[in-house]
């Protein structure tokens, strides 16, 4: 039953990929492919990262309204990059090997998010609205802090961070692709490895303990994976606030089961379809110059408000 | 409750001192002796420094007043015009006017901005009316998301019409562009803000809720409409002239009401003065922190305000509003 849904989604995704590679191509394959294939790969990676991070996050917070992006993870990453440039200089940063930079920023990101969201998520879990509001405000704080630091940086070095701080699916920097792909695949594999334990964790703290699962350890592991996935996707395309929310909500509708073995691939497929299909339509068919993230933000904001209002009905 | 009179007098002295400091702060060095002794000194003050200082004072005061009014009539401590979509609505209106009628005079843009700010606020109120009163934090949460949604819509239009740089000036507030002849619209905002003071008592009654206000003989709809119109005008004028400065309207009324209560007629002057002083201090900091460059004052307030918001969120007892 769900296998058919997944197969169907995979088919749609294949079509989207084909469309992305071929539509509007005025030159031969050997010319087009080196241009479009890495971008396609990046879109697929980002899609899988965002959806997986969101599903994991929603599992440990036990709420379908929360996503790492709404809680400010994305902007925290951008702020970390800016702070690094501010401290060691943009050119020094650009000179370092990308793998090292990536590994280091991901490490700091993991530590920072464990510190911040670990205390936030694991200690007080009753007052949901207050927590979401905290996340939104933190997100704004990171954003404003980032803006402030950017102004304090030498304009020449500023260009280094500008790449990191706004979502641009149509101008993806593919230099970091191999590193990012490796990290993402590792994190995705870790998430897949955890799929049965995630099913247990999603039952809530007490049930998890009864079934022999240490929730605290599970939550921490999940947060680590989430932090890595967020770092990778934000490094590629910048902050996308509502993508994860939308695709997780769609996945829950398409495959209404609590099993992560179904949910994770379904959300990933929906997410990749959204990105690749959306980008194909936007760039090649409608020929709009707006980044996809802007449209996702408009639609996602509305979806969020509707979900929030819907969740209040008894 | 303590009387705000003494605080107001002390504040007045402080703001006057800040104003003098502001006049002698800038890219070109200018000491009081030079201002009166050398040619061009007074001209610099008259054309640039004094207009800027006045613009900052009016903007700060009026944003704080608009926030206080918004908090009283929405009966929620966590809202202000720049976080619930009024400011974004105004910016959207200016944008729409700019490409519908290119080269439109400022007055036309103003009218557009006020109308869209009003529409955005009314839509927000319609959403808020459906929320359960037991969840006061939902109002600011939905407001923030709603404001972000409007801003994303604005970015969409700006991308299509190649106006991204253009909208930056309204989205991040700063005073570096203020010169003589470029800020005078703000005086209208000041007049509208003063008019709000005249209906402060009615606003306080409206803040008790519709049924209570009606049973006390207040024309609830009319007072609410007037207040929202005034807020929309003030916000639009500010956004047109200097851009969005977030959190002023949230921070100041909360600081003042903690000590002096919610009696608008008594506290509004102090709210205005505190707002003026706070924004002026931030603007001076914005000019000094990376001299001779400038940091947008909206950015500084974004950091300060967000931290304050978090404190407000966690410092209060859970059930208090």
Of B135, B142, B306, the CB nearest to A305: B142
B45 DSSP 8-state letter: I
Residue B47 contacts A where some CB pair is shorter than 8 Å? no
Q: H/E/C letters for each residue in chain A?
A: CHHHHHHHHHHHHHHHHHHHHHCCCCCCHHHHHHHHHHHHHHHHHHHHHHHHHHHHHHHHHCCCCCCCCCCCHHHHHHHHHHHHHHHHCHHHHHHCCHHHHHHHHHHHHHHHHHHHHHHHHHHCCCCHHHHHHHHHHHHHHHHHHHHHHHHHCCHHHHHHHHCCCCCCCCCCCHHHHHHHHHHHHHHHHHHHHCHHHHHHHCCCHHHHHHCCCCHHHHHHHHHHHHHHHHHHHHHHHCCCCCHHHHHHHHHHHHCCCCCHHHHHHHHHHHHHHHHHHHHHHHHHHCCCCCCHHHHHHHHHHHHHHHHHHHHHCC
Measure the CA–CA gap between A248 and A270, rounded to whole angstroms.
8
ipTM above 0.85, yes or no: no
For chain B, what is the mean pLDDT?
Answer: 85
Nearest to B149 among A147, A152, A301 (CB): A301
Given a cut of 50, whether residue A167 has pLDDT beyond it is no
Long-range (24+ apart) CB contacts under 8 A made by A205-212 are none
> What gap in Å lies between CA A247 and CA A231, rounded to an integer?
19
CA distance B211 to A249: 39
Report d(CA A146, CA A79) in Å as an integer. Answer: 5
Which of B144, B162, B302 comes nearest A144 by C-beta? B302
H/E element, B14: helix B5-23
Over the stretch A20-56, which tens digit does the pLDDT of each residue have? 887 776 767 777 777 788 888 888 888 999 999 999 8
Instruction: Give B180→chain A minimum CA distance, Å.
Output: 26
pLDDT for A50 equals 92
What does the pLDDT read at residue B318?
46
pLDDT in tens, A106-148: 788 888 877 777 676 666 555 777 888 888 888 889 988 888 8
**Interval B180-209 mean pLDDT:** 86
Q: Is B133 helix (H, G, I), strand (E, B) or coil?
A: coil
Say yes or no for a CB contact (<8 Å) between B299 and A309: no
A61 touches A54 (CB < 8 A): no
The whole-number pLDDT of residue A173 equals 63
The model carries a pTM of: 0.84
pLDDT for B43-93, tens place per residue? 788 788 888 899 999 999 999 999 999 998 888 888 889 888 899 999 998
Res. A165: pLDDT tops 70: no
Q: Report chain B residues whose CB lies below 8 A from the CB of A305.
A: 127, 142, 145-146, 149
In this predicted structure, the answer to whether residue A101 has a pLDDT above a threshold of 80 is: no
CA angle, A183 then A188 then A190, to 5°: 95
Decide if A294 and B296 are in contact by the 8 Å CB cutoff: no
Site from A71, A86, A132, A133 to mutate, B interface, most B CB atoms within 10 angstroms: A133
pLDDT band at A159 (very low <50, low <70, confident <90, very high): low
Q: In this prediction, what percent of chain B has a pLDDT beyond 90?
A: 20
- Our CA-based measurement puts residue B290 at a distance from the nearest CA of chain A, in whole angstroms, of 7
Which pLDDT score is estimated for A126? 59
């Amino acid at each position: 039953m769900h296998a058919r849904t997944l197969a169907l989604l995979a088919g749609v995704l294949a079509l989207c990929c084909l469309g992305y590679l071929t539509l509007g191509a005025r030159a031969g394959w050997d010319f087009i492919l080196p241009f479009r294939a890495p971008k396609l790969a990046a879109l697929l990676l980002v899609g899988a990262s965002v959806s997986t991070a969101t599903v994991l996050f929603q599992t440990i917070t036990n709420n379908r309204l929360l996503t790492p992006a709404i809680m400010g993870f994305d902007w925290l990453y951008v702020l970390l990059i800016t702070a690094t440039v501010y401290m060691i200089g943009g050119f020094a940063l650009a000179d370092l090997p990308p793998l090292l930079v990536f590994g280091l920023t991901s490490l700091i990101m993991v530590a920072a998010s464990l510190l911040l969201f670990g205390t936030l998520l694991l200690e007080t879990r009753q007052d949901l609205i207050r927590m979401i509001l905290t996340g939104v405000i933190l997100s704004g704080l990171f954003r404003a802090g980032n803006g402030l630091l950017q102004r304090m940086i030498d304009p020449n070095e500023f260009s280094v961070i500008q790449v990191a701080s706004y979502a641009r699916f149509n101008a993806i920097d593919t230099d970091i692709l191999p590193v990012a792909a490796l990290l993402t695949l590792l994190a995705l594999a870790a998430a897949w490895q955890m799929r049965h334990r995630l099913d247990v964790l999603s039952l809530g703290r007490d049930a998890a303990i009864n079934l022999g699962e240490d929730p605290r350890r599970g939550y921490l592991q999940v947060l680590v994976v989430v932090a890595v996935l967020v770092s990778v996707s934000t490094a590629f395309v910048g902050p996308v606030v509502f993508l994860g929310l939308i695709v997780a909500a769609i996945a829950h509708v398409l495959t209404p089961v609590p099993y992560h073995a179904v949910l994770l691939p379904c959300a990933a497929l929906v997410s990749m379809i959204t990105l690749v299909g959306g980008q194909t339509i936007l760039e090649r068919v409608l020929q709009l110059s707006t980044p996809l993230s802007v449209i996702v933000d408009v639609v996602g904001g509305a979806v969020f408000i509707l979900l929030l209002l819907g969740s209040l009905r008894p | 409750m303590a009387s705000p009179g003494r605080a107001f007098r002390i504040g007045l002295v402080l703001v006057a001192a800040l104003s003098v400091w502001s006049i002698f702060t800038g890219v070109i060095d200018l000491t009081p002796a030079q201002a009166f002794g050398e040619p061009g000194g007074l001209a610099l003050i008259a054309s640039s420094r004094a207009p800027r200082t006045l613009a900052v004072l009016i903007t700060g005061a009026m944003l704080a007043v608009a926030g206080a009014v918004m908090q009283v009539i929405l009966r929620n401590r966590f809202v202000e015009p720049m976080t619930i979509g009024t400011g974004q609505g105004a910016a959207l209106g200016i944008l729409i006017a700019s490409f519908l009628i290119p080269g439109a005079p400022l007055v036309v843009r103003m009218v557009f901005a006020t109308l869209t700010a009003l529409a955005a606020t009314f839509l927000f109120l319609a959403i808020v009316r459906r929320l359960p009163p037991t969840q006061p934090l939902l109002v600011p949460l939905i407001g923030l998301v709603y404001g972000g949604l409007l801003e994303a819509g604005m970015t969409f239009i700006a991308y299509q019409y190649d106006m991204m740089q253009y909208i930056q000036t309204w989205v991040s507030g700063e005073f570096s562009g203020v010169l003589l002849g470029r800020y005078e619209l703000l005086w209208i905002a000041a007049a509208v803000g003063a008019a709000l003071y005249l209906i402060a008592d009615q606003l306080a009654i409206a803040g008790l809720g519709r049924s209570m206000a009606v049973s006390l003989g207040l024309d609830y709809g009319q007072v609410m409409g007037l207040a929202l119109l005034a807020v929309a005008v003030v916000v639009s004028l500010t956004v047109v002239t200097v851009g969005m400065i977030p959190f002023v309207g949230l921070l100041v009324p909360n600081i003042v009401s903690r000590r002096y209560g919610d009696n608008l007629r008594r506290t509004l002057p102090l709210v205005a003065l505190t707002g003026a002083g706070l924004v002026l201090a931030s603007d001076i900091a914005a000019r000094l922190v990376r001299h001779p460059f400038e940091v947008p004052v909206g950015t500084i307030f974004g950091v300060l305000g967000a931290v304050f918001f978090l404190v407000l969120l966690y410092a209060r007892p859970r059930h208090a509003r």
